[in-house]
A and B are shown apart, each in its own frame.
Chain A
Amino acid sequence: MVKALLNEINSMEGVEGVFIATNRSEITNKTGTGYKDAQLKQLATHILRISAGFHLKGKKVTELEFYWQNRYVICKISDYFALVTFCRTSRILSLLRITLNVTMSKLSEDKKFKKWLKSHIADTEFILHKPSIDTEEEKLLFHLT
């Protein structure tokens, strides 16, 4: 089911890959992306840190979008995982957002996925724990807590 959902997203014109990362930034499923797993893990880590940073302030992030000149990274965030999509055109962003919302709701209802996820997740702020953060991050985090 998960693979089929990701394939559906990846088949959209302009989409260049999609992956799911747990809130430990482990890449669980991916389709189409040309990036190495280490790169995706690094990307997921920083996306999840943004979400965790807001969480420290009592705010819940649901969507994150990054825009470059010809690259768009669209993320949906739940309590336990992130769905991250790479896109090369802005023309399909509206449709992509709708598709990602539907996918998120289907994933949240998928018993098999939820059961598997349970053994791989951590608390929302896990991603901010030492020793994975650097001193600059640590300094700023000190003021957030």
Chain B
Amino acid sequence: MQQYIIRRLLVSIPVLLVISMMTYGFANLVPGDPVSAMADPELMTGAGGDALRERLGLNQPVHIRYVIWLREVLTGNFGYSYHSGEPVLKVIGRAVLPTVELTSVALVMSVVLGTVFGVVAALRQYSLYDYALSVAALFGVSIPTFFFALLALYLFVAVWGLFPSHGMSQAGAEFSLVSNLHHLALPAVVLSLDSMAGNTRYARTAMLEVMQSDYVRTARAKGLPEFAVIGRHAFQNALLPLITVTTLRLPFLFSGALIIEFMFAWPGMGRLSVEAIYLRDYTLLMGLTMIITALVLGANLLADVLYAYADPRIRVRG
């Protein structure tokens, strides 16, 4: 297993390299650059930004800039944001925490509740509960997140006034955990709905399949209590597809949820990424891309490793 992990990590290096080249190249192909994004074109006086371009190194050819960027990244220097002048890692670090807070809560809710609902629906197949949960799950995956966000804003904020409309805590006040959780609740629930619905369907399908397998029938025939049949034999096997789905969603923990961040004014990686694209902040954009790419590769590896642990049939062959 150790060798397998090392091999996968080594394979990740060229993948990262190719992705970095492609991102850098495409970002620079898009019209405009950080300087042209700095001043509002409506307010421009026509004064050239060539001196600024030169000082920022933007007058160099793209491939030279890429090599310089890569050389610095290999020494751990991800560069500075063209617009704020802050180190890229600092800017990303500031956005990562709110994102992780929001997405991890949403992910946990969606996995736990989605699994429970799916398993329950499977165990009570064709019951009223199964139908209700299936319909709810169908709505969950069909209706876009922004609609739920608008609905939540309208009902829970505008009509009932139960939650604040924006932000991750009260601006200008000392940080308070209660205030933070109060601000978090609504966006986290809305964010979790989509994947919760998906998990419910996955869990239901997986559980139904497992419940009809021979070994479950054998376990029952042996006279095992239902608790052991379901908990030990069925549920553990039904977990496999959920592990895949969940681990593949792990990068989402860090990449942010743009729509929710926008609707609830939640600071995070989603808004930061869009801002970096709009402002042509190449260094920030590259920093974000590299981190998210590394997370995706890491999540894939984790999924494979967890699979091996969850399913005894899967073993690495040296």
Do A and B pair up? The answer is: no
A residues bordering B, Cβ < 8 Å?
none
